[in-house]
Amino acid sequence: MTNRPLKHFTKIMFQGLFWLLPIVAILIILSWVYGKVTKMVDWVFHVTGFVPNSHIFLWGILVVFIFLMILYLLGWVVKTRFAHMFEYFFSKIPGYNTIKGLVGIFNSSKEGENQVLVVAIKGFAKEGYNIGLMYSQKESIIKDHYTVTLSMSPIPNGGFMFEVHKDNIFVIKDATFDNNLQYLLSMGVRSLTEILNTESKNIDELQMLSEWLKVQENI
């Protein structure tokens, strides 16, 4: 009995921690990048003899705008042969491919056979379905089967992998890795309908993976 308040406090504390960590990480990265860009711009101003101190706020906005445009251009470059050559040299560095793969898990904007899909598969009870993730759409070693990962809740740093027939996998459109993460962290308190701001659907209204794969082949 005496441990219940402490257990409750610890559980809620960890929920707050894992909600805060992504925000802190993003703020740290943005702060670091902003500092580097600011130093570079200050160096350019020093070399040219230009002093922008009278309009610091406007120049700050300009730095952010330039940084966003650089990211946008890099988004186009990653699809070119130059980017593949650049990655080829970096792939020789031990650990680079592992880090790239881990970072890629959190990228919900990926396209093609490596995008993250939120899917529903036949449940492990007599009735119902489970919500899982497909980190890749490459066929399993078992013909017509694909790997689906079911993460734990509320701390989704573990889970189970299953090889499921493509006709038993249903794609939940517009759902992303981030949406599924919110669903897991809430322990089901927030349903996917609430997170996606949509209505509940019958299972036959969802797109089967086999149909999704056919659409991707024609794109």
Does residue 104 have a pLDDT over 60?
A: no
Mean pLDDT of the chain: 75
pLDDT tens digits, 48-67: 666 556 566 666 777 777 77
The model's pTM:
0.52
Q: Average pLDDT of 122-126?
A: 75
Give me the torsion for CA of 119, 121, 123, 124, rounded to 10°.
-110
Please indicate whether residue 26 or residue 217 has the higher confidence score (pLDDT): 217
Please indicate whether residue 116 or residue 108 has the higher confidence score (pLDDT): 116
Please indicate whether residue 69 or residue 207 has the higher confidence score (pLDDT): 207
Helices (H) and strands (E) in the chain, counts: 7, 6
Q: Which residues, 6+ apart, have CB-to-CB distance to 162 below 8 Å?
A: 121, 132, 147, 148, 149, 150
Q: Average pLDDT of 101-130?
A: 68
Q: Average pLDDT of 106-134?
A: 73
Can you point out the beta strands (E) in the chain? 117-122, 129-134, 145-151, 159-165, 169-171, 207-208
pLDDT tens digits, 163-175: 999 989 999 988 8
Q: Average pLDDT of 193-214?
A: 88
Using pLDDT thresholds of 50, 70 and 90, give the confidence band for residue 108. Answer: very low
CB of 210 closer than 8 Å to CB of 166: yes
Q: Average pLDDT of 85-92?
A: 61
Residue ranges covered by each domain of the chain: 3-77, 110-217
pLDDT tens digits, 1-43: 456 777 766 767 666 666 566 667 667 877 887 777 777 767 7
Of 40-49, 140-149, 172-181, give the lowest mean pLDDT range: 40-49
Does residue 81 have a pLDDT over 70?
A: no
User: What tokens appear for 45 in the block?
Assistant: 């101003």
CB of 167 closer than 8 Å to CB of 210: yes
Does residue 218 have a pLDDT over 60?
A: yes
